């Protein structure tokens, strides 16, 4: 599994991680087994949020990570409505309790909301000083909002921007990804399969992916993920409901796509015209 140093903490983090949205929907024992299988496969970049299952996902992860916390780069998010200075600190304390840990490796503002960024970031800095979080970032911020976040937080303080990124949604490559690079901000893509299954060979684009996958002796899913983390400073956090899928996803961390592979995928899934707004689910 390829690792890249995550900004601010400079900790080596797997480029392929584990998302946890809807993790609570299977039965709890199965969810715990899936998380542990993902860790065994090397997917130790684990992402969650207080919003997921109204805290239930964090609680499941707290059980799944018991005894293995130090292996994990753990990320959670505060809801915009809770992101006042006092509210952010209180929300973080609740997340830590559910996750059964004393710190988060990164804590994100889930999306921009009613509270001034200065108040949210002041709370983040207070949590950093207390050792409750080791870094902080944002999620669902377009270029304009990211520039504002960097201006408010100061240079080198915003660790990442987490946004939707999959083969049918590549608009971030026009301006947002370059902006992240410019400011030393990691780009973490969520929903790399657009909330569905990977492409299948029955579609034209899927046929291209299948041919490339066969040459690398991996799955279509692994090729998809490898493409989405081909650029420096990019990570992806697919959700999975099966341990076998976690192992398939982890294989993507070792796939090195050739220039020809990348060009073929680029033609099959064009990024389209530049737009200022971000895609959403």
User: Is residue 122, in this structure, part of any structural domain at all?
Assistant: yes
CA 214 from centroid of its chain's CA atoms: 27
User: Is residue 31, in this structure, part of any structural domain at all?
Assistant: yes
Q: What's the number of domains the chain is made of?
A: 1
Q: How far apart, in whole angstroms, are the C-alpha atoms of residue 73 and residue 44?
A: 6
User: Is residue 228, in this structure, part of any structural domain at all?
Assistant: no
The residue among 53 and 242 whose pLDDT is bigger is 53
Domain containing 70 equals: 3-192+234-240
Q: The CATH number of the domain where 93 resides is what? A: 3.20.20.100
pLDDT at residue 107 in the model? 99
pLDDT at residue 203 in the model? 87
pLDDT band of residue 164 (cuts 50, 70, 90) is very high
Tens of pLDDT, residues 231-266: 999 999 999 888 888 999 999 999 999 999 999 999
User: Is residue 267, in this structure, part of any structural domain at all?
Assistant: no
Q: How far apart, in whole angstroms, are the C-alpha atoms of residue 29 and residue 116?
A: 40
Q: How far apart, in whole angstroms, are the C-alpha atoms of residue 137 and residue 158?
A: 5
User: Is residue 274, in this structure, part of any structural domain at all?
Assistant: no
Tens of pLDDT, residues 32-49: 999 999 999 999 999 999
User: Is residue 33, in this structure, part of any structural domain at all?
Assistant: yes
**What is the phi-psi region of residue 44: left when phi exceeds 0, alpha when psi lies from -120 to 50, beta otherwise?**
alpha
Range of weakest confidence among 66-75, 92-101, 233-242 = 233-242
pLDDT at residue 162 in the model? 98
Tens of pLDDT, residues 114-157: 999 999 999 999 999 999 999 999 999 999 999 999 999 999 99
Buried b (16+ CB within 10 A) or exposed e, 66-88: eeeeeebbbbbbbbbebbbbebb
User: Is residue 119, in this structure, part of any structural domain at all?
Assistant: yes
- Whether 56 has a pLDDT exceeding 70, the answer reads yes
pLDDT band of residue 281 (cuts 50, 70, 90) is low
- What average pLDDT does the structure give for the chain? 95
User: Is residue 108, in this structure, part of any structural domain at all?
Assistant: yes
In the sheet with 158-164, reading across from the earlier edge strand, the strands are: 45-47, 73-78, 106-109, 136-139, 158-164, 186-190, 234-236
């Amino acid at each position: 599994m390829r690792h890249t140093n995550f900004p601010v903490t400079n900790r080596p983090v797997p480029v392929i991680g584990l998302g946890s949205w809807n993790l609570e929907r299977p039965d709890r024992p199965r969810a715990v087994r899936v998380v542990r299988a993902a860790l065994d496969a090397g997917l130790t970049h684990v992402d969650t949020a207080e919003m997921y299952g109204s805290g239930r996902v964090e609680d499941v992860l707290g059980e799944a990570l018991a005894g293995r916390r130090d292996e994990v780069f753990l990320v959670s998010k505060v809801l915009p409505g809770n992101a006042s200075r006092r509210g952010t600190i209180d929300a973080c304390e609740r997340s830590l309790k559910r996750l059964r840990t004393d710190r988060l490796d990164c804590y994100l503002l889930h999306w921009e909301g009613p509270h001034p960024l200065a108040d949210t970031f002041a709370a983040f800095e207070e949590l950093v000083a207390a050792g409750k979080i080791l870094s902080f970032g944002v999620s669902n911020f377009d270029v304009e909002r990211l520039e504002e976040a960097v201006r408010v937080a100061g240079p080198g303080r915003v660790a990442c921007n987490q946004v939707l990124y999959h083969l049918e949604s590549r608009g971030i490559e026009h301006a947002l990804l370059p902006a992240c690079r410019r400011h030393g901000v990691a780009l973490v893509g969520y929903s790399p399969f657009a909330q569905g299954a990977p492409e299948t060979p029955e579609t034209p684009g899927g046929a291209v992916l299948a041919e490339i996958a066969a040459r690398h002796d991996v799955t279509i899913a692994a090729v998809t993920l490898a493409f989405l983390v081909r650029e420096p400073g990019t990570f992806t956090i697919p959700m999975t409901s099966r341990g076998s899928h976690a192992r398939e996803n982890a294989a993507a961390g070792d796939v090195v796509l050739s220039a020809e592979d990348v060009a073929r995928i680029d033609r099959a899934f064009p990024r389209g015209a530049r737009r200022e707004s971000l895609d959403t689910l």
